Amino acid sequence: MVEETIAALDRGELRAAEKRGEEWIVHEWVKKAILLFFRLRELEPIELGPFLYHDKIPLKRDYAERGVRVVPPAAARFGSFLSPDVVLMPSYVNIGAWVGPRTMVDTWATVGSCAQIGADVHLAGGVGIGGVLEPLGARPVIVEDGAFVGSRCVVTEGTLVGECAVLGANVVLTSSIPIIDVTGAEPVEHRGYVPPRSVVIPGTRAKEYSAGTFDIPCALIVGTRNASTDLKTSLNDTLREHGIAS
């Protein structure tokens, strides 16, 4: 049963989490199967072309059949799913992850276990998408369709990045880092959630401690992505408009 579940994940027939209506539902039993799979497997040498590994989980091998482009030395573990027209630059995709059609996983980006990455997403160079296996009911990191995640961003702890959102370079998002919308007369704070089409940059805010006042990280929503043009033009215009590095 465990191996059948992992094989179904690999084929895209199952997902660790999926969207139903407006809500994301976590399948705890799928995550449990992944944890059991680690316990059942033994370390063994894995030879793939010129590369030699020593691990419990084999690597995917069906890229051509799936219509996926994989640039050496990118690697995706068995039990992850890559949709047609995904491009993996030298990068890493972990077990349980799901990557949607036409998404680019750029150089040295990592997609953690059970992360759900939508269609037409760009994970730029060095992006770190965290894995969430435990607790079993915890939501994995989710990046919805059309989002752009800039270079060296880190998104962890089940954070949800809404459709067509833009994260500028070096944004760090966790379940506890405040995401503050500063576009209105008063700030509006989110945690673990980036609203659709938001344009986000790194920020800091002052916090008082016994030893004094110090700046701590936050993220700032400084605008909204333009929906009037196609995705590429809209993204480039948005980055220029808000002075955001990608």
* Residue ranges of domains in the chain, CATH in brackets: 2-143 (2.160.10.10), 174-246 (no CATH)
Within its chain, how far is the Cα of 155 from the centroid? 7
Mean pLDDT by 10 residues, the chain (246 residues): 96 97 95 96 88 91 94 96 98 98 98 98 98 94 98 98 97 97 97 97 96 97 78 58 65
Tokens at 66, concatenated:
């799936």
Q: Rounded distance, CA 84 to CA 99, Å?
A: 9
Phi, psi of 143 (to 5 degrees): -120, 110
Which pLDDT does position 229 carry in this prediction? 45
Q: What is the dihedral of CA 45, 48, 50, 51, to 10 degrees?
A: -50
Give per-residue pLDDT as tens, 145-202.
999 999 999 999 999 999 999 999 999 999 999 999 999 999 999 999 999 999 999 9
Q: Rounded distance, CA 225 to CA 143, Å?
A: 16
Q: Rounded distance, CA 89 to CA 103, Å?
A: 11
Which pLDDT does position 202 carry in this prediction? 97
